[in-house]
Amino acid sequence: MPKRHPFSNICKTRISASLKQALEERCLRTGESVDHIIQTALAEELDVEHHTIFQISTSTALVEGVYQGCVSIAEIKQHGNFGLGTFDSLDGEGIMLQGEVWQAKGDGSLAKVADSTLAPFWVMTNFKPDRCESLNKVSCWENLCAQIDRHRNSENLFFSIHLSGVFHSIDYRVACKTSPGTDLVTATEQQALFHLEDCAGDLIGFWSPHYAKTLNVPGYHLHFLSKDKQHAGHVLDLKADKLDLELSEQNHLKVALPESNAFLQADLSADPAAALAKAEMGKQAQ
């Protein structure tokens, strides 16, 4: 009879009554899940890196239409509890918050993702904010970026970003499933556009330096998830009176490259900046 792995029952570990009570009180106070609280505490105790971005594939590969899923959500969860990405064949927008992964589709639906689901591109981290700030009178996307800029201390490091609050309005898009090899600009011409008003939610994402444009989307890249878990997508514009900002500096970047034929044979030598700007925000690169 095979021996049971010593950690196979780790989810059934006994804890004291005082710890159980503290967990319950923390969940009620913050809205966090028990899994998220325990994972964060263990990460700190075991010195798991909080200031490291783990990434699957590259932005240039996406621009060139390399959308074949190469890594399972189960594997992605091993490297972070916070992030964003997309799914096989560019089938929607992905959001990871407190270790839970959601998939927004072009028909407006939103659902939790099975661990077996494959992703061609993902960016994630074990999120722990370095600073918390309030942003006031956010009038548009450009104003949001300018306000966050004031709280970043470098143009050369990466930053993970979490914002929460009530949005007077928010415009977002969801990419629609497409055929392999379709370039990103062409694929996002078929995107579904959405508009919400007076909606509470979270923004999850990253700021990446311009020099990293061949690896990640330069500048701000944020996905939206409504508090009621009914709506989500890639943020295009927004308005809000007040947003709570949590910001974390990231000084390590680890990238896993696909080994599919599509990736191995793709021409990734072009500058992706113009295509990314158009696909991500419908704008010309600056």
pLDDT score recorded for residue 87: 97
pLDDT score recorded for residue 278: 87
Residues (pLDDT < 50) of the chain are 1-9, 283-286
pLDDT score recorded for residue 122: 98
pLDDT score recorded for residue 3: 47
pLDDT score recorded for residue 46: 59
User: 155 CB contacts (<8 Å, ≥6 apart)?
Assistant: 209, 210
Nearest alpha-carbon partner for 281 in 237, 242, 247:
237
pLDDT score recorded for residue 4: 45
Query: Which phi and psi angles does 187 have, rounded to 5°?
Result: -65, -40
Enumerate the H helices of the chain as residue ranges. Answer: 17-30, 34-45, 59-63, 73-77, 141-149, 184-188, 261-265, 273-281
Alpha-carbon dihedral 175, 181, 186, 189, rounded to 10 degrees: -20
pLDDT score recorded for residue 189: 87
For residues 23 and 32, give the distance between their C-alpha atoms in angstroms, rounded to a whole number.
10
Nearest alpha-carbon partner for 260 in 91, 68, 124:
68
Domain architecture of the chain: domains with CATH: 15-45 (no CATH), 52-281 (3.30.1330.80)
pLDDT score recorded for residue 218: 94
pLDDT score recorded for residue 45: 64
